[in-house]
Amino acid sequence: MSEATSMLAELLAAGDVVVLSGAGLSTESGIPDYRGPSGARTRHSPMTYQTFVADPAARRRYWARSHVGWRIIARASPNRGHRAVAHLQRQGLVTGIVTQNVDGLHQAGGARAVIELHGSLDQVVCLDCGDRSPREELDHRLRRANPGFDTGVTAVNPDGDVDLRDEKVEGFQVVGCRACGDGMLKPDVVFFGETVPADRVGECFALVERARVLLVLGSSLTVMSGRRFVLRAAKLGIPVAIVNQGETRGESYSSLTVDAALGEVLPETVRLLGERTASGEMSAPFTR
């Protein structure tokens, strides 16, 4: 492929790579990113935590849209980029994965011990009693409470939200927590305006500080939530490589930047690494 891909393989060959992934990694699974070519932010702004907890109408609107969006997320399949990262992890080259995504596709693609920085859409938390439950269970409850609620939406935002007209959500019925009676339920994800738990951030920093290379995949690094790990790596002299379609705010800290589709670059990088491993340590080639 390109010289940049060859350079990327060279950079990763010695291992101890920590991956930081963003929404751009999942675009080839049919989930648009926020600021890249698929541009979900051009449609509507994501729900904020403050609005969610303070405004019942906004909360109903969110759950109606998210109820539809969750079905699309749950049907999404990992793409070649996700599977390539899992392959590199199995080969011992990737020693840690931090994702800003909430779609669970890293794990579906075979990755293990993934730190989900912003949580996961497949879990629900009660803001009153703290009970956590599977999203699938809530999905069944919402289906029963809203029979016939079908909008025909086929596109979803990275946070599981979709666009619906107001008249579609006016009669949507929200359900409360089963554990405490009627507590306020929220997806177990970090909304805009909400803080990532400190212990989770500390775990991510510890991974980055032990890395030989920080590999950023599919993130514009626009928000500090992810960019802070690039800043920490740069401060410690740890090389940063970025693969992303479009500009990022991390290029000034990057040793190597590849502007290309991850579903093309990552499998090709795996292939090159396999070719360069004469000892056979990478005996299992990456396949579709």
Catalytic residues: 118
H helix and E strand count, the chain: 10, 9
Instruction: Name residues whose C-beta falls within 8 Å of residue 148's C-beta, 6 or more positions apart in sequence.
Output: none
204 labeled binding residue? no
How many CB atoms are located within 10 Å of the residue 237 CB?
Answer: 6
Q: Are 52 and 130 in contact (CB under 8 A)?
A: no
How many CB atoms are located within 10 Å of the residue 254 CB?
Answer: 20
Q: Are 126 and 185 in contact (CB under 8 A)?
A: yes
Span between the terminal Cα atoms of the chain, in Å? 17
Instruction: Name residues whose C-beta falls within 8 Å of residue 167's C-beta, 6 or more positions apart in sequence.
Output: none
Q: Are 200 and 117 in contact (CB under 8 A)?
A: yes
Alpha helices in the chain (DSSP H): 3-12, 49-54, 56-75, 80-90, 105-108, 135-145, 166-169, 198-210, 224-235, 262-276
Q: Are strands 185-189 and 119-126 parallel, antiparallel or unpaired?
A: antiparallel
Q: What is the dihedral of CA 167, 64, 39, 232, to 10 degrees?
A: 150
The binding site comprises 126, 129, 177, 180
Binding residues for Zn(2+): 126, 129, 177, 180
